[in-house]
Structure 1
Amino acid sequence: MKTIPLLLMMLWLNSSVLFGQAVPWYRINPNPIESSLNEIVNIPGSNRLMAVGSGATIMYSDNEGASWIISYKPAGISRMTNLNAIHFVNSDLGFVVGNHSTLLKTTNSGASWVDISPAGNMDFLDVYFMDEQTGFVTKYDTVMKTTDGGSTWVQTQLKTWRYYPKHLHFINDTTGFLGNTNGSYYFKTTDGGDSWDSTTIVTDTENISLSAIKFLDENIGIISGEIYNISYSYYLIFRTDDGGETWSEVYSHSFNSIKNIYFFDSLTGFTVGPRIMYDNMILKTDDGGITWHETTLSGYNWCNLNSLAFLPDGKGISIGSYGQIIKSTDWGENWNIGYQRVIDNSKINAATVVNQSAAFIATTTLAGGGVLSGCIYKTTDGGYSWSRLLNLWPFNSLVFVNSDFGVAASDAYGAVYKTTDGGNNWAEHEIDIYNFNPLYLCFINEQIGFVGGEDIIYKTTDGCETWETCLDNYVLNGIKDLTFSDDSTGFAVGYLPDMFLRTGDQGATWVTDTFDVSIFANKLYFINADTGFAIGNKILKTINGGDTWTEVPDGCEGSISFTDIDFPTNQVGYITASDNEETLLKTVDGGGNWAPIGLMETTSTPNALAFFSADEGLVMGDNSIIFKTYSGGMVDVPENQFTETNNFGITCYPNPVANKLIVDFIDVKPNWQLLEFYSVSGELVKKLITSESYSKVSIDVSDLKTGVYIVVSKSAHQINGVVKIVKL
């Protein structure tokens, strides 16, 4: 286990909190969340909609999706937990399941959660509780039942093969159903879940592969499935009105895949799922599933929609992959976008800063139908808005020598793309279209540059017009990164551990060398000719131009993979991390010591850095996350705003407050507001994003402990209001 032997470093980190510095991070993209959302429910007896998803996400809205309160890592579970399903017994009691055998429980409508997970490391797929004691959880090939609130479990293995049981529900105390068999049968229990029997549907359709199922009562049931063979495929809906004795086909389509079935009442129902190689489709029935029609979805919705739920007034929410949220106000006939993005849904692979407000990023776009593409984007306002410059391949590397001259590379095509006018125009320069996949770029000036990929490094001396091989061997088992510390000295790392290549003659010759400490290196970075870093599963530092390397403390526990590094000054630097609870590290002593600054609330992994100064910068990564800091990632709410008389921009009442707090926005509203609640010590304890222009919002603060809190209202890069409240 790694420890933190850096007392001075931690004193520096903590002093920023103790002395009241920082609203640490502004979420620029996406809003409100980047998680892949798996299921949404309307909590019985309330107007609260609650969704669960990847990155240990639980989020709820009390105002029809206008704003969301997000719980990050509820009950202290790992941020790498994927939450798959949610079920509420009544207005207070609810349960959530996910991978790593995760089972969470709430008794206060989701305001707080308790971890009651049983031992094990299985993917829990679905959950249904009849009351606080009796409930069910599904996992691979198995239904688990408890009658003592989760203290003990009885497992029933289902008689099938490679089965992931989903769509678990009961119509009474004894009769329940399971779907997603991918066969011509579903599972049914008539003894309260003690045993489950497979039931084959009787239909004229052969070779059916069944997925979602929903029974409305003992007689009426709806089930979806697919017929596939070499010549054609169809997606179908079947209905029974005799308890499953016979089934009739009521809908078929070549593209509308049906992943989930939802009924608000006995007549009004919906299905949701992707249109294969296209976008999504929501079907609606007004007669209990006898007939179905397509609804209208507007806007971009390439990524899968997974679930939906409605309130009694006909307002509904459908959620899906990569934070996708769409809304309806007319009982599902029409749907509109309910989330915000400043760039397309992407993985941000690389970033480079060209001046105090301008930067470029290279992305892989997560498009529909399994089609991968990519873009180059540019910001000129410090990251708040982005212009798409080039839309082509997935771009994984990007370098700018100055504000005008830049080069981008994609491993999907053996060429690079060059701009000489700040990204307005790009020219393709072929290297080896069929035999080379360029991965990493390094340019010394506008004429001399290098590109690496596989086990080859190419060099240009005429600004990308021509390329010549300067390394062609398999010593590293593939090139992962390359960089130059000055005009002559360069380094490369690959997939073999402990080894690197170096050149002292601008790439004419390369020699093999080894690190002094064992490392699986991902990236190299030099501050100057002498001082550099190798990052991977460790952080190594050299102060003599790569002749010797020493491991430096990183302050993290467990396995980790460091992915990007940036030094805006010689002393202040940042590193992104994956495969760990920590995602961002910082140094203030030139990289001699590092410590996590875990204040960025994200469910995805950052892997690209772009800092304009020691304190101002962008952290970006998977699922197109973009966060900005003006305080070096540290807490920064000035102490002189912590006064009762210094309220501006917003008003809060009642104050003191016990349960429901009304926040009234005084000034002109932007498209969204970010509300953050801080303790007087500077700790961020609650966060809410309003996704539409509302003059006031109601917030449940019953989960806050008794005490004094600071409410901060923000939009874009600006603080709009600060007010102190007292929680009773």
Structure 2
Amino acid sequence: MFLTLSLNLCFPQNNSNWSFSNPQSFGGDYIDFEFINENTGYAVSQGQILKSTDSGTNWKILKYLNLPKNVIPISIYILNDSIIYIGCNMGYILKYFNNKIIILNRNNFNFDEFRTIEFINENIGFAGSNRYLYKTTNSGETWISINPLTINNIFKIKFVDMNTGFLTSELGTIYKTTDTGVTWLMNKFPNSYENVKDIFMINENTGIVCGTNGFILKTIDRGNSWYEINSGFSDQFFSVNFFDENNGVLVSKEDSYILKSKIFITNDGGESWNKIDSIDKMFFCCAEKLNSKIILGGKVGFLAEINRQFQYNQTTKYQVPLNAYIKGMKFFNENTGYLVTDTGHIYKSINKGNIWNKISESPENLSIVSFDFINELTGFVIGKNENSVNLIYRTTNLGNNWILDSVNINNSISQLNFLNEQTGYLTTQNGFYKTENSGLNWTLKNSSSFVTRELKFTSLDTGYCIKGTSLMKTINGGLNWHTLLQQPSGIFLMSFLNSLTGYLFFDNFNNRYLFKTTNGGINWSYESFYDRVEYVSDFYFVNETTGYILSDKVYKLENSGETITPIHLTQNFRINDLYFYNEKLGFFFNHTYGELRAPVLLKTYIDGNVSVENNS
């Protein structure tokens, strides 16, 4: 019988219960940031404005942007401690004022992409886009186009005083004004096809610009003329900053699909440059001077610093960067938990996941598939080495030493989980293995014909598994299995709370159903989800009535699925895994490179009906 139920869609308020958890600083990208004094700085990411009051050591969310779909922040300008301008794509300029976000004069902007904003006082400002140069004389209430000559693709606007300013553009072109932007003089470098991405004036006369394919120009006469510097590199230079007249830092980035950044330094005023570091899986987008250091911000919510001695530090004063994807998580109580990344790093938290510290690395540079800890000292990691050989390692001292288990498994291992400290299960393509002595020995329990995707034992005797398009159950420890539900095609996912109560999600692209049993699979009730979600990549129930579904968004299910609520995550993260220790403490994360998205770890901690944000 098909059940027709009312759909109750709830839209949460902006004070989301979900917050970013170390080692990932904010989970998203630092698009741009700026400091107004030695202590106070602001940053804009894809979903919020962030503020630091301790020289960038810690950051708190100042305001959620709540932008329309496909609108992304690109640039930020800090006028003072209470007024911030943010340039976006799709013709949006935002103004943060009196703790409110105001959309400025969008009707005149069409689909401009605002890459740079600069104000010379509270009233007069400029905004450069991929189409035009705009000017305001009334604090952004109205804007007029003042396009000098024919300018496209403005990348940077920089004023050195009330009258004199520069803007950088494509084809090796720099423009200069000496009358507050009324007129502009073009200075085009001959035979250049490069995009000039950034400009930094070291003093009133000397400046450096950088651009694509290793392009660097320098002026020593206040921008009246420029000469080319042979950098010796072909990198995509993106941002430049100087400590003093001699010592400077330059960063490059590859395109968004490569996720790689390089850092270059000079100690002769920019006449020559040397590469000091190259970082995979992320890139820097901006460089900002702060006292005796230059801070770099970029993808993966990542900050780094370089001091005057050009000592590059990824971690000093900043949270440990999560430049890898989470493969699993395990908590033993509300405070103590572990996570492992695909690169084999193991982290530990002792404060509900607010801060994670790396404690060890797995051996042999394994590509991690799964892990589990049975107590706070003893754990297992499984994965493949560089020769694609399946290996299982065990530690009894929190990863200080690892012991290679002798079990020989030729087929791929998909899952490892322990029911208790003695009994654990390995799911493979040719059946499952069981240990009854804390992993010292493993025994194959089924033949190669028993191919299972997911296995869950709720007691020593009772277990459930997904085999093809069937849900199966055992009541004798896995010796025999019988079919509970079967479909000719489609995908099954399961979440069992105990031996009696469980949920099953079925999707064959034509129909989507959420099944529930309270008597071990003898009887099932169900809800239709065909018009509710586009697809389901995973789901989990934290108690008999409340669960979460991962789809194009993250949804919370209540009343056994009758009520579905999209969760506000501040950014359009692609989440594909989740872990809950109990009803209050839970985490969302992604564990694959899908669409080359940056790694992210989100945490919730809910005490009854009171939500607590933990912006670590």
TM band (smaller chain): 0.5 to 0.7
Pair 1:621-2:600 in alignment? no
Deviation (angstroms), 1:249: 1.8
Cα 1:250–1:106 change in 2 (3 A) is: same
Q: How far, CA to CA, are the matches of 1:23 and 1:196 in structure 2?
A: 49
Q: How does 1:2-401 map to 2 (within 5 A)?
A: 5=8, 29-30=22-23, 33-43=26-36, 48-54=40-46, 56-74=47-65, 76-77=66-67, 82-88=72-78, 93-99=83-89, 101-107=91-97, 111-116=99-104, 118=106, 124=113, 126-130=115-119, 135-139=126-130, 142-143=131-132, 145=134, 149=140, 166-169=155-158, 176-179=166-169, 185-186=172-173, 188=175, 199-201=188-190, 212-214=197-199, 216=201, 221-225=207-211, 235=214, 237-241=216-220, 247-249=227-229, 251-252=231-232, 258-262=237-241, 269-273=248-252, 280-281=262-263, 283-284=265-266, 287=269, 289-290=270-271, 303-311=282-290, 314=292, 316-327=294-305, 333-334=310-311, 336=313, 337-341=315-319, 344-353=322-331, 359-364=337-342, 373-377=343-347, 383=353, 387-388=359-360, 390=362, 392-398=365-371
Identity among equivalent pairs (%): 17
Cα 1:267–1:67 change in 2 (3 A) is: same
Deviation (angstroms), 1:186: 3.9
Q: How far, CA to CA, are the matches of 1:177 and 1:239 in structure 2?
A: 14
Question: What residue is the counterpart of 1:533 in the other structure?
Answer: 503
The letter of the residue matching 2:210 is S
Partners of 1:542 and 1:549 within 8 A in 2: yes
Pair 1:545-2:537 in alignment? no
Q: How far, CA to CA, are the matches of 2:490 and 2:608 in structure 1?
A: 28
Q: Unmatched 5+ residue regions in structure 2?
A: 436-440, 591-598
Instruction: State the secondary structure of the residue aligned to 2:611.
Output: coil
TM-score (norm 1): 0.59
Instruction: State the secondary structure of the residue aligned to 1:322.
Output: helix
Deviation (angstroms), 1:540: 1.6
The letter of the residue matching 1:565 is Y
Cα 1:565–1:361 change in 2 (3 A) is: farther
Deviation (angstroms), 1:58: 1.6
Partners of 2:260 and 2:279 within 8 A in 1: no
Question: What residue is the counterpart of 2:404 in the other structure?
Answer: 427
Question: What residue is the counterpart of 1:726 in the other structure?
Answer: none
Cα 1:324–1:400 change in 2 (3 A) is: closer
Instruction: State the secondary structure of the residue aligned to 1:470.
Output: coil
The letter of the residue matching 2:127 is F
Deviation (angstroms), 1:261: 1.7
Cα 1:575–1:105 change in 2 (3 A) is: same
Question: What residue is the counterpart of 1:513 in the other structure?
Answer: 486
Partners of 2:470 and 2:484 within 8 A in 1: yes
Q: Per-residue displacement from partner, 1:163-191 (whole Å, max 9, x unpaired)?
A: 97633446787974335x5xx63465879
The letter of the residue matching 1:388 is S
TM-score (norm 2): 0.67
Q: How far, CA to CA, are the matches of 2:466 and 2:615 in structure 1?
A: 45
Q: How far, CA to CA, are the matches of 2:147 and 2:574 in structure 1?
A: 37
Q: How far, CA to CA, are the matches of 1:282 and 1:37 in structure 2?
A: 20
What value does the CA root-mean-square deviation take over the aligned residues?
Answer: 5.7
Deviation (angstroms), 1:114: 1.7
Question: What residue is the counterpart of 1:675 in the other structure?
Answer: none
Question: What residue is the counterpart of 2:593 in the other structure?
Answer: none
Cα 1:504–1:576 change in 2 (3 A) is: closer
Cα 1:175–1:5 change in 2 (3 A) is: closer
Q: How far, CA to CA, are the matches of 2:470 and 2:149 in structure 1?
A: 55
Cα 1:50–1:268 change in 2 (3 A) is: farther
Deviation (angstroms), 1:134: 5.9
Q: Unmatched 5+ residue regions in structure 1?
A: 15-21, 228-234, 365-372, 473-478, 494-499, 637-683, 690-728
| Aligned residue among 490, 494, 497 for 1:524 | 494
Q: Per-residue displacement from partner, 1:497-546 (whole Å, max 9, x unpaired)?
A: xxx3334575989899349xx9976x421223453224599772321628
Q: How far, CA to CA, are the matches of 1:342 and 1:400 in structure 2?
A: 22
Deviation (angstroms), 1:96: 0.9
Q: How does 1:453-472 map to 2 (within 5 A)?
A: 458-460=431-433, 469-470=448-449
Q: How far, CA to CA, are the matches of 1:411 and 1:122 in structure 2?
A: 49
Q: How far, CA to CA, are the matches of 1:688 and 1:318 in structure 2?
A: 21
Q: How far, CA to CA, are the matches of 1:514 and 1:549 in structure 2?
A: 16
Partners of 2:242 and 2:289 within 8 A in 1: no
Instruction: State the secondary structure of the residue aligned to 2:56.
Output: coil
Q: How far, CA to CA, are the matches of 1:105 and 1:86 in structure 2?
A: 10
Q: How far, CA to CA, are the matches of 1:270 and 1:97 in structure 2?
A: 25
Deviation (angstroms), 1:126: 0.6
Cα 1:164–1:490 change in 2 (3 A) is: farther
Q: How does 1:639-650 map to 2 (within 5 A)?
A: none
The letter of the residue matching 1:502 is L
Cα 1:489–1:578 change in 2 (3 A) is: closer
Q: How far, CA to CA, are the matches of 1:202 and 1:218 in structure 2?
A: 28
Q: How does 1:630-709 map to 2 (within 5 A)?
A: 631=607, 634-635=610-611
The letter of the residue matching 2:172 is Y
Deviation (angstroms), 1:357: 6.2
Partners of 1:530 and 1:542 within 8 A in 2: no
Q: How far, CA to CA, are the matches of 2:412 and 2:546 in structure 1?
A: 31
